[in-house]
Homo-oligomer: A and B are copies of this chain.
Amino acid sequence: MPVTRGRRADARRNVTAILDAAVECLSRDPDASVADIAQAAGIGRVTLYGHFASRGELLDAVFSRAMRHADAALDDLDIEGDPRQAMTALIRSSWRIVSQSRALLTAAQRGLPHGRVRELHEEPLRRIERLIERGREQGTFRADVPVPWLVATFFSVLHTAADEITAGRLDEAAAPHAITGTLLAAFTPPGQPVPAPE
């Protein structure tokens, strides 16, 4: 019952402590146990179960909170104007978020029911979709492949970059250039020249 209001102050404090600890633990190990998380939060396992009925419920809460934060961070971003410039900005902001909480995604994909991850991604996803559609109408982005495919490509490239960095095959400093370069090229309509990134 993680209702955050009407409860005692220490209870509320504990809920966020659990959530924070969960983020930390799951980022380190996507299979982290409830016991691990409780310990990292500095509370007893029983207390945790007092707030979240099951491991799944906790996972859901953790991930959906992270997505809310991500979406909020994207809120103060100007999506209007030249689609290509807007896209570059959107990529940069998204990259910051993804590169931070990539491990969390793995945990969510492993422990949440099929489709739930996507469901929680819905809002930030629609942002990208809208921008792509606008760019298509103006002829800036390619129209010979479906929009959902371009959206998927967007996410895919970001996550791949994160993976490559963790694997030590991609320099963290070189990532932004590689990502934007790749995505802007992937979005360019056949026949048009690939824009130089940055």
A residues whose Cβ falls under 8 Å from a Cβ of B: 110, 118, 142, 144-146, 148-149, 152-153, 155-157, 159-161, 163-164, 167, 169-171, 174, 177-178, 181-182, 185-197
The docked-state distance in angstroms from the alpha carbon of A77 to that of B132 is: 36
The docked-state distance in angstroms from the alpha carbon of A167 to that of B156 is: 15
Q: Is the CB of B190 within 8 A of A182?
A: no
Q: Whole-angstrom distance from the CB of A87 to the nearest CB of chain B?
A: 14
The 6 closest A-B pairs by CB, nearest first: A156-B160, A190-B196, A145-B178, A186-B186, A148-B169, A188-B194
Pick the contact of A190: B145, B164, B169, B181 (CB < 8 A).
B181
Q: Is the CB of B190 within 8 A of A191?
A: no
The docked-state distance in angstroms from the alpha carbon of A189 to that of B144 is: 20
14 further A-B contacts with Cβ under 8 Å, apart from A153-B160, A181-B190, A194-B194, are A144-B197, A146-B170, A146-B171, A148-B170, A156-B157, A185-B186, A186-B186, A188-B194, A190-B194, A190-B195, A190-B197, A191-B194, A192-B193, A193-B193
Q: Whole-angstrom distance from the CB of A99 to the nearest CB of chain B?
A: 15
Closest-by-CB residue of B relative to A110 is: B110
Q: Which chain B residues border A144 with CB–CB below 8 Å? A: 177, 181, 196-197
Pick the contact of A146: B110, B155, B160, B178 (CB < 8 A).
B178
The docked-state distance in angstroms from the alpha carbon of A144 to that of B179 is: 12
Q: Whole-angstrom distance from the CB of A134 to the nearest CB of chain B?
A: 19
Q: Which of A161, A178, A192 has the most CB of B within 10 A?
A: A178
Q: Is the CB of A164 within 8 A of B185?
A: no
Q: Which chain B residues border A186 with CB–CB below 8 Å? A: 182, 185-186
Q: Is the CB of B149 within 8 A of A178?
A: yes
- Given A160-B153, A174-B146, A194-B191, A118:B181 Cβ within 8 A: no
Q: Which chain B residues border A177 with CB–CB below 8 Å? A: 144-145
